[in-house]
Chain A
Amino acid sequence: MSATTQIARKERWALLQDQRGLGWLLAFSAVLSAFALLLISNQELSLLDNAQVVYMLAGTVTTAGAVIAVILGADAFAGERERGTLVPLLIAPIRTSELVNGKALGLVSAWGLMYLLSLPYLWAVGAGGQNLVQAILYLVLFGTPVVLGFGYLAMALSVRSGSVLTSLLTSLIVLLFTASPLLLGPGLRNSTIGRALDAVNPFSGALNTYDAVIIDSDPFLAQLPRLTLVLAWLAVTFLAARTTAHRPRFH
């Protein structure tokens, strides 16, 4: 078994056996449960169109997934270093690239689990309506690069700063900043600045695609520019994690 697989295996194992990992998965489920309950039971929200509800839940899955990916990414190097478990990895016959790849695969597993956890919720709120299958597919296609991208960004900062707190806060600020255009009113979003931000913002890219596909039933080809954007985001953040991960400090 390669070192990459070994490390990825440990990451997966930690997610399911370590209290910390289980806690985050539980928190993710709790957020989805609360939101799904709200969508179904709240008088105003329950009147929403079914596709609108599925769109909102897909956005919530992506956002909650990105937050947990940031937490796990920030912990990947700095957390291990603070707990003293990084040194045994550095002194083992492992290449830096294998260490980063293993950690990156660990994040893929975490997102995979979160995605699987979200399926029953999507089905619960969207089974009777249109475009549920599209929502599930586009969550893989657009949610995966966005969520993993934030995880890799946090990982890169984790290596660079050596501090869980610093990498976590910085990544969360970036996440909030990328989510901010969505908090702007429609008028501001249609302004030049709003449109420019949307054009380079992977988070907007994913949510606008969910909107277009789930609510407006737009075709796949129309989503290609946004797909390029989120894939570029994934590539850039992964490269950042790879290049930042020079051999971390031994001491």
Chain B
Amino acid sequence: MLVDANHLKLTLNGRAILQDVSVHIERGEIYGLLGPNGAGKSTTIAVLLGLYAPDAGDLRLFDQARGHPVELRGRIGVMPERAGFYEWMSASDYLAWYAGFYGGLQQPAADLLRLVGLGDSGKRPVGQFSRGMQQRLALARALVDGPELLILDEPTNGLDPRGRREIHDLLLRLAGERNVGILLCTHLLDDVERLCSRIGIIDGGRTRLEASLQELASAHAAGRRFRLRLERPPADPSSLPSGLTLTSESQGWWQCLVAPDNTAPLPTLWEDLLVGHGWEIAEIHAEGGGLEALYLQLTASSKNEVKEETT
């Protein structure tokens, strides 16, 4: 396991920043770390990087007991939320200079820039880059040493939809082909749903939930509405698995409701509908709920705290 952090605690300047944080990331896995502002995400990253030593808890990185922070940082690529470049340096010069901390570039700077979609901008001073280009360069910087673990803080900030999709594809390739473990901190739940296989939700310095998206989909299906598009209308629309109710049909979309007391995993329900009841499902859309509802539910305490502070 790349990251095996259990029940981390950290107090800074008398304030308990982390109270019980756990993060587990496997090789080749994209892990979404979610939480409201001030929840402890950045501090968790700082602890993983050895910038702060936890007061309590167990932290193992790269399948070994914690080594020297400097050596561990040599195996981790980080893309902080604020890109932070010397604007007078060209992109190529900057990457070559930064790679010096890791023993030099593993591949030519031009290749690295091409990988993140900045192929022809190597000679330009970074000060002339747009925000999106700086985000791409920050990702290239995180990749200078071919890291085993990538930590990305809001990596698609400032990117247009095409750029966002390109970065998504790159991250999926890195995880799938190079077996890189990726810790993704973002507020964009769309990104999480598209990229991550597991998530952790932190609030108030505590891990409120850590699970795979598949587990979540099953565990939190009760009471949710889904729209189904079928290959052809069902022979008997009233024939449904227990736990599923048909509510309406419009323009080829069938809306159904998972019973609030349903305990069956969602995939089982769909399989039952398909195989047992002959519904040939072409598309399934979740309506409302999902990760966003779960996130809001689990981070409700922060919302209340903000309200209390402002009143």
Contact = CB atoms under 8 A, between A and B. Distances in A.
Residue of B46, B71, B88, B101 with highest tally of chain A CB at under 10 A: B101
A58 B56 CA distance: 57
Nearest to B49: A91
Interface in A64-123: 83-88, 90-95
Contacts of A17: 88-89
A10 B82 contact: no
Contact of B80 (A3, A88, A94): A88
Contacts of B71: 93
B98 A92 contact: yes
A251 B52 CA distance: 12
Contact of A9 (B43, B76, B88, B97): B97
Contacts of B76: 91
Interface string B12-55: 00000000000000000000000000000011011001011000
Given A3-B101, A95-B70, A90 B51 contact: yes
A84 B86 contact: no
B7 to A, nearest CB: 21
Interface string B134-146: 0000000100000
B237 interface: no
A93 B141 contact: no
Residue of A3, A14, A247, A250 with highest tally of chain B CB at under 10 A: A250
Contact of A93 (B43, B51, B74, B85): B74
Interface in A1-36: 1, 3, 6, 9-10, 13-14, 17-19
B98 A87 contact: no
A250 B74 contact: no
Contacts of A250: 42-43, 45-46, 49, 51-52
A94 B45 CA distance: 17
B86 A14 contact: yes
Interface residues of B, number: 27
B9 to A, nearest CB: 17
A77 to B, nearest CB: 13
A94 B73 CA distance: 8
A84 B51 contact: no
A95 B50 CA distance: 11
Contacts of B62: none
A87 B73 contact: no
A87 to B, nearest CB: 5
A84 B83 contact: yes
Nearest to A90: B51
B70 A251 contact: no
Contacts of B175: none
B42 A88 contact: no
B267 interface: no
A251 B42 contact: yes
A87 B84 contact: yes
B37 to A, nearest CB: 12
Interface string B63-90: 0000000110110101010111110110
Given A91-B49, A93-B73, A10 B97 contact: yes
B311 to A, nearest CB: 27
Given A250-B42, A250-B52, A92 B101 contact: yes
24 contacts: A6-B101, A10-B86, A13-B89, A17-B89, A19-B88, A83-B84, A85-B85, A87-B82, A87-B84, A88-B80, A88-B85, A91-B51, A91-B80, A92-B98, A92-B102, A93-B71, A93-B102, A94-B101, A95-B70, A247-B52, A250-B43, A250-B46, A250-B49, A251-B46
Given A250-B49, A250-B52, 17 more contacts: A6-B97, A6-B101, A10-B97, A13-B89, A19-B88, A84-B82, A84-B84, A86-B84, A87-B82, A88-B84, A92-B98, A92-B102, A93-B102, A250-B43, A250-B45, A250-B46, A250-B51
Nearest 5 Cβ contacts at the A-B interface: A84-B84, A93-B74, A84-B82, A250-B46, A92-B101
Interface of A: 1, 3, 6, 9-10, 13-14, 17-19, 83-88, 90-95, 247, 250-251
